[in-house]
Chains A and B, each alone.
Chain A
Amino acid sequence: MKKITLRGRKVYGGSVEGEALVTKESLGGFGTFDLKTGIVIDFSHEWLGKSISGKILVFRTGRGSSAWTIAHQALRFTGRSPKAYLIKENNPQTALGAVVARIPSMTDFDQDPTKVISTGDWVKVDADKGIVEITRQ
């Protein structure tokens, strides 16, 4: 099994490990997923029908409605939060979203995380140390 390490900057602290769900697209909030199940319902999104719950999400940036952070906070209340956000280009939606979702999150990587990480990879995130360790499955 091949191991790859990415270095980046902490957006919100903590460490966690889990399975990656990756898109080169941006991620929305309001209208993107069902708040009670975490299943993506946005017809225009690559993740349509998939659950973001319990996954390490790897994506480009935040997009769409400014209700973004409300939707990502709500997943915490319904127990359907993802485990971490790995963000290629951090914006106010993803920054505040990480804070209110209260999950480990990183950005400003030495390589493009949406290219290096593939869906299904096992990923260890240590946001405080700024390290992501990827094990290809």
Chain B
Amino acid sequence: MVRLAQDEQDMLEGKEGPAKQKAMELLVKYAEALGAERFIDTNNVTIIPGSIPGTEIIQKVVPSLDADEIASKFLLDSDQTVVLDRVKAFTTTNATFRDQRYPEIQIGGKSFCDVLRKMVDYFKRVGIIHLATCTPYQVGNIPAKGEHCAWTESSAIAFCNSVIGAYTNIEGLHSSFASAITGKTPLWGMHLDENRLGKVIVDVEIDMEMIREWYLMGYYVGGELGLDVPIYTNIKRVPDLTRLMALCAAGISSGSIVKFHIVGITLEAPTIEIASGKRKNVRILKFGKKQREKAYGKLNHSNKDDVDIVVLGCPHYTLERMGTVARMLEGKKVHENTRLYVTTCHMIKSLADKMEFTETITKAGGLLLEDTCGLSLDADPSKVFASDSAKLVHYAPGSTGLKNTWFGTTEECIQAAITGKWRGELR
């Protein structure tokens, strides 16, 4: 049984109003489901409300589409509608919103764009910052090492734990929204130091210069492990932001890696001994050419080399990638049979506008989308899809119905966009 502190008991008894009461009720059920013994304070929460199911399901449950009722039923799992005044914790939103400029190309069309716009107004009203990104750490939500957070968005969770060294479990929409309202999260899992130690050593045998290899390594290891924390060893090159984002995104797409260590590089892993807590008999996994090929084969399954759709920017593109892509597209034209989409958040797009990256991409025939996700694109399932993100390629079939997918480097994707043909290979 979970033990409650006085302030938690007060919220549960409704002394601080019905919204906090419902939030605390949900957190208590969740803590008991986990087997947590108590809660810890949090003042850093990210929520993922853009992923609520489409208008048809929402309207079935909330015919009026009233924002308070949608928030109560879909975000807080409360049958009773509660009106929230303000959230207690510092809270930001994740991606999978819609780019309101182009409703027709995104799943759910105008009606879902309208529902989400209404929800954005609701978030502003209750004091949630609308960052609209799967990479909050790029644009103003960077916790400190050791800070207790309640984050959603799988790749950001892996980044928060592994790269930043802050503490978060893989929260869902409902628990994170309840944490935003109460400022509490169960003291369980990644919030406890002993669970952050590595249990499996990954011996990296190949050169890790290319971004693609970081995706393939995460994708392979994610598929091999359950909930264990891996320790990557023998990486001689310090990865940059894009490479770390790739490793985070891939390992939690094929699997459940919410935290990893890279010996000599990430904060909690100065040595193997410290990263593993001197654990004996750790399992050893190899990442060499054969393993890389296995991951590559799982992601590339198209019988046609004509490419119809190229999507870049999952997780949301960095300024470095945006500049690189703009340079690659300078003076070029996207093929008439191919669509090129680049996705990021409105803050990075605003800089891309000022740097004229947006203009270059648009002139070449590409489209820079904000706050949305490649998985929100309304695509004909018979089309051929290519991306430089293993995460996007992994989820595309289930989310959009696209069956023919190619995964490769950013250069290969841009070439495919220009020529309309896939020429990628694993060299």
Contact = CB atoms under 8 A, between A and B. Distances in A.
Contacts of A90: 33-35
Contact of B398 (A32, A68, A105): A32
Interface in A54-101: 60-71, 73-74, 77-78, 89-93, 95-100
Contacts of A77: 53, 57, 60-61
A96 B175 contact: yes
B395 interface: yes
A11 interface: yes
Given A31-B398, A74-B53, A69 B174 contact: yes
Residue from B157, B175, B189 having most chain A Cβ neighbours under 10 A: B175
Interface residues of A, number: 43
Given A62-B256, A66-B153, A78-B57, A73 B74 contact: yes
Nearest to B399: A31
Contacts of B35: 9, 90, 108
Interface string B66-95: 000000001001000000000000000000
Interface stretch (A15-23, A38-46, A116-124): A38-46
Interface string B343-384: 000000000000000000000000000000001000000000
Which size bracket describes the interface of B in this complex?
A: 35 or more
A35 interface: yes
Interface in B145-188: 152-154, 157, 169-175, 188
Contact of A95 (B30, B157, B252): B30
B256 A30 contact: no
Interface in B27-62: 29-30, 33-35, 48, 51-54, 57, 60-61
B421 interface: no
B169 A92 contact: yes
Interface of B: 26, 29-30, 33-35, 48, 51-54, 57, 60-61, 74, 77, 96, 152-154, 157, 169-175, 188-189, 226-227, 252-256, 298, 375, 394-395, 397-399, 401, 403
Interface of A: 9, 11-12, 26, 28, 30-32, 35-36, 41-44, 60-71, 73-74, 77-78, 89-93, 95-100, 105, 108
Which 5 A-B residue pairs are closest in the complex by CB-CB distance? A31-B398, A69-B172, A95-B33, A67-B51, A31-B399
Given A89-B227, A92-B189, 6 more contacts: A9-B35, A66-B153, A69-B174, A73-B174, A77-B57, A92-B175
